Amino acid sequence: MQDQHDKTTHFGFQEIPVDEKVDAVAKVFHSVAAKYDIMNDLMSGGVHRLWKMHTINQSGVRSGNKVLDIAGGTGDLTLKFSRIVGSQGKVVLADINDSMLKVGRDKLANRGVVGNVEFVQANAEALPFPDNTFDCITIAFGLRNVTNKDAAIASMYRVLKPGGRLLILEFSKPESECLSNIYDQYSFRLLPMMGKLIANDSESYRYLAESIRMHPDQETLKGMMDDVGFERTSYQNMTGGIVALHKGFKL
Ligand code: SAM
């Protein structure tokens, strides 16, 4: 019988044993945590803020709701949700990586967020929450780093309340060949250079570019959500498909 060390998965463009991927991804995010927010602004020219704002607008989250922001990292979505759900609601910022969680916790404390946010270290593949807990779950730029994406989507389905929604914000496949070529030049040449200059780490930013290319495209990801049981699944492309927002409901 094969064990987890014989089976392989991708880590960017490399094939590595399945049981080594979590540590490889952890190394990337331990390394980039301190510079994560500034690099996000630089790499996207600030556009990641618009993608996230659109996600919040599409989430339908209201005062009093319970929200899970899994792979929440430095807490951009959590910060906005905590203001919407108010004192009667709750936001759980969960992430597998304690360096990212620490940056998130400090940032939210500095912005005066207290009381309705809980920080939990957790793997998206095996969420440590009871069934039917959350009104809304978001995972932004997190799913492509997860080893077993089907397990993660199933775990999110389990902890959503009936009537609840999952929103997956992730890099995806550009709609036009021309955009795709420009984007390739940008991500394989410029990104690692910026990573080297700003964070003294070109390898992590090379992984970022490679992991984007290895992520399932729009239709494949929608199919994965359908397979787990999500209903009324849909997606919207943003910035020509560089990013897509997938949505699905647990009915
Ligand atoms: N959601 C934040 C944002 O949009 O700015 C952070 C995104 S960051 C690119 C990806 C995050 O996914 C990292 O904080 C990383 O630690 C987290 N992550 C990677 N694998 C994970 C897993 N299996 N379970 C939970 N979080 C994971």
Residue pLDDT, tens place only, 187-225: 999 989 999 998 889 999 999 999 999 999 999 999 999
Top mutation candidate among 11, 25, 191 for ligand 1, by most atoms within 8 Å of CB: 25
Using the mean position of ligand 1's atoms as its centre, give its distance from the Cα of residue 145 in Å.
Answer: 7
Q: Is residue 9 part of a domain?
A: no
Which of the four pLDDT bands, split at 50, 70 and 90, describes residue 3? Answer: low
Q: For residue 17, what are its two tokens?
A: 């044993």
Provide residues with CB under 6 Å of ligand 1: 25, 29, 70-74, 76, 95-97, 100, 123-125, 140-142, 145-146
Contact between 94 and 118 under an 8 Å Cβ cutoff? The reply is no
pLDDT digits (tens, 9 = 90+) for 110-126: 999 979 999 999 999 99
Per the listing, tokens 């490679």 go with 210
For the chain, give the number of residues.
Answer: 251
Distance separating alpha carbons of residues 151 and 159, to the nearest angstrom = 13
Top mutation candidate among 47, 80, 95, 215 for ligand 1, by most atoms within 8 Å of CB: 95
**CATH number of 121's domain:** 3.40.50.150
Domain that holds residue 88: 45-171+224-249
Secondary structure element (H or E) that encloses residue 19, with its range: helix 18-32
Secondary structure element (H or E) that encloses residue 165, with its range: strand 160-171
Arithmetic mean of pLDDT, 1-13: 78
Q: Is residue 146 part of a domain?
A: yes
pLDDT digits (tens, 9 = 90+) for 34-87: 999 999 999 999 999 999 999 999 999 999 999 999 999 999 999 999 999 999
Q: Is residue 15 part of a domain?
A: no
Using the mean position of ligand 1's atoms as its centre, give its distance from the Cα of residue 139 in Å.
Answer: 8
Q: Is residue 113 part of a domain?
A: yes
Nearest atom in ligand 1 to the alpha carbon of residue 146 is 23
Rounded to 5 degrees, what are φ and ψ at 142?
Answer: -110, -40
Using the mean position of ligand 1's atoms as its centre, give its distance from the Cα of residue 53 in Å.
Answer: 18
Using the mean position of ligand 1's atoms as its centre, give its distance from the Cα of residue 1 in Å.
Answer: 32
Q: Is residue 83 part of a domain?
A: yes
Q: Is residue 244 part of a domain?
A: yes
Q: Is residue 190 part of a domain?
A: no
Ligand 1, atom 18: closest residue by C-alpha = 71
| pTM of the predicted model as reported, rounded to 2 decimal places | 0.96
Ligand 1, atom 17: closest residue by C-alpha = 71
Q: Is residue 97 part of a domain?
A: yes
Distance separating alpha carbons of residues 109 and 188, to the nearest angstrom = 35
Number of folded domains in the chain?
A: 1
pLDDT digits (tens, 9 = 90+) for 162-178: 999 999 999 999 999 99
